[in-house]
Amino acid sequence: MASSNPLWGGRFGAGPAAVMREINASIGTDKRLWQQDLAGSRAHVTMLGAQGIVEAGDVAAILAGLDTIAAEYAQDGVPEDIALEDIHMTVETRLAELIGPAAGRLHTARSRNDQVATDFRLWVRGACAEIDAGLKALLTALLARAEEHAATIMPGFTHLQVAQPVTLGHHLMAYVAMVTRDRSRFADAATRMNECPLGAAALAGTGFAIDRHATAAALGFARPTANSLDSVSDRDFALDYLSAAAMAGLHLSRLAEEIIVWASQPYGFVTLPDAWSTGSSIMPQKRNPDAAELVRAKSGALLGAFQQLAIIMKGLPLAYSKDMQDDKPPVFAAHDTLTLCVVAMTGMVESLTFNADRMRAAAASGYSTATDLADWLVREAGVPFRQAHDITGRAVKAAEARGVMLDGLSDAELAAIDARITPAVRDVLSVEASVASRTSFGGTAPANVRAAIAAAREIL
């Protein structure tokens, strides 16, 4: 029988079963928190020294030992011994090897429960900043392409049916709006989570005269968390991160879907460069948008990660339960996935070729300027909109019967449909005239798009 754990085995006669050790260990995952764990320990022991709880010589020895551990892990990685369970006990055991019994003073007025909550908050706060940097790069790419195509005409769709012409710049700016909201969600999450649980101890606080404000400040938190029970049992910060990640992934997936559809031959709106395409092992002509497809697929994993942690948390009574050890895998996996997806999408956006001719031709199809004809009748001839709608419907029917676009009908044919349609109507029947006219705030006119780009750059 294995011997009991040196860090908690005082009351145990025998050690855990092999499978118990295996199910209990989290070192394979939480070693990723080593820098946060060392930072938390430094802040904690420094505070214990300042409060006179641990004497200066021991504080110095502990800090020096932690520095040695940092150098070792940076050089060789974190050793994975499942008998030591997790990153906290791995560090503490190594510290004892390095400096002897003084290492045992580090855990005064602290528990692994507040320790892991602190480490993980620090990590997730850093993850929010990393994603923000990625999203900024994506926005920069979207804005550059939107500017380039502020006046490029494409069909706007509803129900995936050609509806009205829009500009490609305007379409890309819709994604700028989504990604800007994503950034604000991560920023909001980072602000809300910026409270320090350290010093909540196991669940009830501690009788030692600790200074939680000092440790919070040392770790860059705005303040200590207010309630010790909540401090060790709250994982809202991880769920906030995952919900922002799920939403960002959802937006990336919609853009990926458009790229996939636009790159298909019947559309031909975009061409992916070689760097972002893959071939087929059997069909030599194929250029597949695999990266976009995988961004679309991986958004499923991002949505799943939120569910996974929400379901772990939803039945837990206060305060800490070991279930919460399983909070890290979905967050780490989601962060890696989202990081990859954001970079891939940025690369695709930067390097796509937009086929303006195909887009314009598609925009002119499907009677996309019918609304412009109806609006013209309202504006120029004072026709009530519902009646203008009916007149225009008859014009579309006539054009369809002749197999021409609306501007393919002759002046006489138009006048025969309704005498109030004069040749002046031709000014609004082109797709260019249609988009140029849509200058209402938030509308698709090229001038609006340029103004929107300038405003978005301001926020960036």
- Taking the complex as a whole, how short is the minimal distance between the CB of residue 207 and ligand ARG, in angstroms? 19
- Taking the complex as a whole, how short is the minimal distance between the CB of residue 23 and ligand ARG, in angstroms? 12
124 contacts ligand ARG (rule: CB under 6 A)? no
**430 assigned to active site:** no
Decide: helix, strand or coil at residue 439: coil
**In the stretch 366-395, what mask flags binding to ligand ARG with x, by CB under 6 A?**
------------------------------
Rounded (10°) angle between helices 112-148 and 87-99: 120
Rounded Cα distance, 278 and 260, in Å: 13
Nearer Cβ to ligand ARG (11/386): 11
- Taking the complex as a whole, how short is the minimal distance between the CB of residue 204 and ligand ARG, in angstroms? 13
26 contacts ligand ARG (rule: CB under 6 A)? yes
- Taking the complex as a whole, how short is the minimal distance between the CB of residue 86 and ligand ARG, in angstroms? 4
Q: What six digits make up the tokens of 117?
A: 């909550």
- Taking the complex as a whole, how short is the minimal distance between the CB of residue 106 and ligand ARG, in angstroms? 15
Residue 12 CA, distance from chain mean position: 45
Nearer Cβ to ligand ARG (26/167): 26
- Taking the complex as a whole, how short is the minimal distance between the CB of residue 329 and ligand ARG, in angstroms? 11
- Segment near ligand ARG (CB under 6 A), from 39-47, 112-120, 269-277, 424-432? 112-120
Tell which one of 116, 131, 303, 305 touches ligand ARG (CB under 6 A). 116
Rounded Cα distance, 371 and 94, in Å: 74
Owner of token pair 């002119």: 364
DSSP state of 223: E
Nearer Cβ to ligand ARG (34/276): 34
Amino acid at 94: R
258 contacts ligand ARG (rule: CB under 6 A)? no
Rounded Cα distance, 317 and 253, in Å: 36
**In the stretch 288-327, what mask flags binding to ligand ARG with x, by CB under 6 A?**
--------------------------------x-x-xx--
Q: What six digits make up the tokens of 357?
A: 């001719």
- Taking the complex as a whole, how short is the minimal distance between the CB of residue 324 and ligand ARG, in angstroms? 5
- Taking the complex as a whole, how short is the minimal distance between the CB of residue 176 and ligand ARG, in angstroms? 38
- Taking the complex as a whole, how short is the minimal distance between the CB of residue 116 and ligand ARG, in angstroms? 4
Q: Is the dihedral of CA 296, 301, 302, 304 positive or negative?
A: positive
Rounded Cα distance, 311 and 447, in Å: 48
> Residue 213 contacts by C-beta under 8 Å, 6 or more apart in sequence?
223, 224
Nearer Cβ to ligand ARG (204/454): 204
Rounded Cα distance, 248 and 245, in Å: 5
234 contacts ligand ARG (rule: CB under 6 A)? no
Specify whether the CB–CB gap between 228 and 113 falls below 8 A. no
- Other CB atoms within 10 A of residue 403 CB: 7
**In the stretch 325-354, what mask flags binding to ligand ARG with x, by CB under 6 A?**
x-----------------------------
Specify whether the CB–CB gap between 437 and 371 falls below 8 A. no
**In the stretch 29-48, what mask flags binding to ligand ARG with x, by CB under 6 A?**
-x------------------
Site residues for ligand ARG, 81-100, by CB under 6 A, read 86
Nearer Cβ to ligand ARG (26/299): 26
- In order of 176, 180, 324, the CA distances from 252 in angstroms are 11, 12, 29
**213 assigned to active site:** no
Nearer Cβ to ligand ARG (8/385): 8
- 222 φ, ψ (degrees, to nearest 5): -70, -30
Nearer Cβ to ligand ARG (110/183): 110
> Residue 411 contacts by C-beta under 8 Å, 6 or more apart in sequence?
422, 423
Nearer Cβ to ligand ARG (26/152): 26
- In order of 18, 83, 88, 93, the CA distances from 2 in angstroms are 8, 10, 21, 17
By CB neighbour count within 10 A (0-12 exposed, 13-18 middle, 19+ buried), where does 43 fall? Answer: buried
- Other CB atoms within 10 A of residue 4 CB: 15
Rounded (10°) angle between helices 236-263 and 290-313: 160
Nearer Cβ to ligand ARG (30/240): 30
Tell which one of 41, 93, 113, 164 touches ligand ARG (CB under 6 A). 113
Owner of token pair 């005082």: 10
Active-site residue among 3, 184, 280, 410? 280
Decide: helix, strand or coil at residue 26: coil
Active site amino acids: 159, 280
Residues near ligand ARG, by CB under 6 A:
26, 30, 86, 112-113, 116, 320, 322, 324-325
